[in-house]
Amino acid sequence: MAGGADSTTELSVVIPMYNEAEALPALVSRLRPVLEGLGVSYELFAVDDGSTDRTAELLAALRLGWPELRVVRLRRNCGHQAALTAGLDRALGAYVVTLDADLQDPPEKIPDMLALARAEGLDIVYGIRADRTGDTPFKRWTAGLYYRLVRRLAGPSVPAQAGDFRLLSRDAVDALKSLPEQERVYRLLVPWLGFPSGQVTYERAPRTAGRSKYPLGRMIRLAVDSVTGFSAAPLRLATWLGGFAFLVCLGLMVYTLAAHVMDHTVPGWTSLFTGVLFIGAVQLICVGLLGEYVARIYTALQNRPTYFVGHDTASVAREQPLESRSAASCDNGRVPH
């Protein structure tokens, strides 16, 4: 249940931002009335993930008339999950909501999340995308494939169609902060906690402005991080591929001996060539899978900070140092914004 990191702050809303200058006006026009209509003390925590557009300038202007807005600017673009980590590390509220700036996840659902958590004593409330018609067919197909994959590997506790729009109690946030994860994928880490949870459904809208920060390449990187971070199944797949290749080799050996006995060795070059290509491909797949896990071990041993804060508008004595607790480096090539 929600304990208090700061008894004067009931709700924190953490929003990672990377080049969201076009979306900011629409976001503010919808989010601020929602937060002020809740009747609770709140802070809006905007994490500027090294934006190169006017995002930082617009946030600074908004702060002049919005004292509840707190802005943390990271020194460089470290990625969506790292920006979420920066926000969760520093949020003070008894409840914390994480939300993207593109308004595909409606801020109007925040009161429903808070009411459900209070009424049923929940530590986690997921925003579930009941309708994704606002996404492209390709986006819907790849998202469905991703959730089927991670639910099969990480277990059914991972809610289908739940992204990074969620409410967390203070206990859940503190539990996340205590984890030694190096490369965090919160849509898998949060269900893994096993805290009491509920769901609020909504229709996913088209992006309000700008362009998606998750093109195909970064979606693939997220899927790889999700799989390698929560399952050893790829290593077992390498073992099964090796066993299958061994059986194929035995079959080719029998075929080669039979061809030799019948003096038909020349026609066998096709099967031999195919076998060599197959074995080579299996070996490369296995080496690649091993390389993914070795890379994660290497990153953990480096023990670099997840992010460095360049500027924080809050001047609270209990603030952490500029750099976070040690974790994965923001220049390790993992899923940027």
Contact 90/330 with Cβ under 8 angstroms? no
Which residue from 213, 216, 217, 228 is spatially nearest to 299, judged by alpha carbons?
228
When pLDDT is cut at 50, 70 and 90, the band that residue 308 belongs to is confident
When pLDDT is cut at 50, 70 and 90, the band that residue 94 belongs to is very high
Contact 157/194 with Cβ under 8 angstroms? yes
Residue pointed to by tokens 């952490």: 320
- Does residue 232 have a pLDDT over 80? no
DSSP labels for 202-230? Answer: EEPPPPSSS--S--HHHHHHHHHHHHHHH
Give dist(CA 262, CA 272) in Å, integer. 17
Predicted TM-score (pTM) of the model is 0.70
| 267 DSSP 8-state letter | G
pLDDT-above-70 percentage for the chain: 63
Return the pLDDT at 335: 45
Helices (DSSP H) in the chain: which residue ranges? 24-36, 55-63, 80-90, 110-120, 137-154, 170-178, 186-193, 216-230, 233-261, 269-302
Return the pLDDT at 286: 76
Q: Which amino acid is at 331?
A: D
Could you report the per-residue pLDDT of 149-190, keeping only the tens digit for each? 766 666 666 777 778 899 999 999 999 999 877 778 888 889
Could you report the per-residue pLDDT of 36-67, keeping only the tens digit for each? 999 999 999 999 999 999 999 999 999 999 99
Q: Pull the structure tokens for residue 85.
A: 């980590």
Average pLDDT over residues 117-135: 85
Strand partners, 45: 14, 70
Could you report the per-residue pLDDT of 12-43, keeping only the tens digit for each? 999 999 999 999 999 999 999 999 999 999 99
- Does residue 334 have a pLDDT over 60? no
Give dist(CA 222, CA 150) in Å, integer. 11
| 176 DSSP 8-state letter | H
Give dist(CA 43, CA 11) in Å, integer. 6
Contact 295/183 with Cβ under 8 angstroms? no
Return the pLDDT at 267: 60
For 234, phi and psi rounded to 5 degrees? -60, -35
- Does residue 222 have a pLDDT over 80? no
Give dist(CA 125, CA 112) in Å, integer. 9
For residue 287, with 0-12 CB atoms within 10 Å meaning exposed, 13-18 middle and 19 or more buried, which class applies?
exposed
Give dist(CA 46, CA 309) in Å, integer. 12
Give dist(CA 131, CA 119) in Å, integer. 26
Contact 122/196 with Cβ under 8 angstroms? yes
